[in-house]
Structure 1
Amino acid sequence: MSSTCEQVEQGKTSWPELVGETGECAATTIKKENPLVTTRIIAVGTIIPMIYICDRVLIWINDEGITESTPTIG
C-alpha cells in the first residue's frame, strides 16, 4: 500500500499556469486537478514555518489577491 505522500505526488504537483490568477481561482483549480491536497492562500511577506508537507499547496498572493509565484506541493 502506498503512503499518502506517494498517492498525492502521483497527481499534479505544481501549477505555473496559475501565476497571475486570483488566489481563490488558483485554490479551486488545484483542488480540481489534485483532490488529495489542501490549499492555503497566504499573503506575500507572511512568515510561516517552511516545513515540507506532502499534501499541502501554499498559494502566495499579493495585496490585490493575485498569485505571485508557482503554487507547488510542499
Structure 2
Amino acid sequence: MDEKFPYPPCENTACTTRKCCARFMYKTIWPNLLGMAAEEAKAIIVQDNPLVTVVSVPPGVGVIHNFCCNRVWLWLDEKNHVQLVPKVG
C-alpha cells in the first residue's frame, strides 16, 4: 500500500450501489455496530463481507470521497468506538 494513502486501491467496477458491490451475497451496512469498539466492529465487518477492507478513521482525519466497492470507512470517536454507521462505499 502507498504510504501517502494507507488503504487499498479502489476497486473500479460498474457498480454504483452497495448491493451491487456485495454481489447481492454479502452485508453492506452495519447499523448495529454503532458504539462498538473498533477492533470488534472490524472483525464483524470482515466476517460479514470478505470482499472489503476496513479502514479505521480517527477523529479529525480526512478521507477520499469516492465510491469504492472494496472499502468500508470505520469512523471512530476519541474512545476508539464506532461513531457513524459503517457501510460499503
Identity over aligned pairs, percent = 31
Matched residue pairs, number? 72
Change (3 A) 1:32 1:44: same
Question: What does residue 8 of structure 1 align with?
Answer: 22
Which structure features the higher share of strand residues? 1
Question: What does residue 17 of structure 1 align with?
Answer: 32
How well do the aligned residues superpose, as a CA RMSD in angstroms? 1.8
For structure 2, the 5+ residue unaligned runs are 1-12
Alpha carbons 2:21, 2:69 under 8 Å: kept: no
Q: TM-score when scaled to structure 2?
A: 0.72
Distance 1:16 1:71 in 2: 7
Alignment of 1:44-59 (within 5 A): 44-59=59-74
For structure 1, the 5+ residue unaligned runs are none
Question: What does residue 73 of structure 1 align with?
Answer: 88
Q: CA deviation at 1:73?
A: 0.2
Which structure features the higher share of helix residues? 1
Runs of 4+ in 1 over 3 A off after TM superposition: 3-7
